[in-house]
A = this chain, B = another copy of it.
Amino acid sequence: MDLLPHLDPASPTPLYQQLCASFERQIAAGELTTGERLPATRELAGLLGLNRTTISAAYELLEQKGLIAGHVGRGSFVAGRPAPEALDWSSLLNRPARQFAVNLVVNPAAISFAASRPPEELFPVEDFQRSCEEVLSSGHLDSILQLGSPGGYEPLRNYLLQQARGERVLGPDDDLLITSGCQQALDLLRRVLVRPGARVAVEDPVYPGLKNILLEGAAQLVNYRSGRAQIAVLTPNFQNPTGLTMPLAEREAVLQDARENATVLIENDIYSALRYTGQPLPSFKELAPRAGTTLIRSFSKIAFPGLRLGWVIGPRPLITALRETKQLSDLHSDQFSQAVMLRFAESGRLAAHQANMVDAGRQRLDAALDAAARFLPAGSQWTRPEGGLNFWVTLPEGLDAAQLLERSQREGVSYLPGEVFRVERPQHNSLRISFGGARPAQITRGIEILGRVFSAASEVQKQAEREPVTAWV
Contact = CB atoms under 8 A, between A and B. Distances in A.
Interface of A: 28, 30, 81, 84-90, 92-96, 115, 117, 120-121, 123, 125, 128-129, 132-133, 136, 141-148, 179-181, 183-184, 187, 191-195, 209, 212-213, 216, 259-262, 264, 292, 300, 304-308, 315, 317-318, 321, 324-325, 327-337, 340
A195 B92 CA distance: 9
B94 A123 contact: no
A187 B318 contact: no
Q: Which of A30, A147, A264, A317 has the most CB of B within 10 A?
A: A147
B328 A93 contact: no
Contacts of A142: 120-121, 123, 125
Contact of A328 (B193, B216, B262, B317): B216
Contacts of A315: 87, 89
B123 A145 contact: yes
A261 B187 CA distance: 33
B331 A334 contact: no
Contacts of A87: 262, 264, 292, 315
Contacts of A306: 144-148, 334-336
Contact of A146 (B136, B193, B305): B305
Given A146-B305, A308-B330, 16 more contacts: A28-B260, A95-B324, A120-B142, A120-B145, A125-B145, A129-B141, A132-B132, A133-B133, A145-B305, A145-B306, A147-B300, A148-B306, A179-B330, A308-B331, A330-B330, A336-B340
A130 to B, nearest CB: 10
Contact of A181 (B93, B209, B331): B331
Q: Is the interface of A mostly helix, strand, loop or mixed?
A: helix
Contacts of A30: 260
A230 to B, nearest CB: 8
Contacts of A143: 120
A192 B93 contact: yes
A341 B290 CA distance: 44
B84 A262 contact: yes
Nearest to A290: B86
Contacts of A90: 317
Contacts of A133: 133, 136
A90 B145 CA distance: 35
Given A180-B180, A336-B307, A193 B92 contact: yes
B81 A180 contact: no
Contacts of A89: 292, 315, 317-318, 321
A141 B120 CA distance: 9
Contacts of A321: 89, 93-96
B95 A192 contact: yes
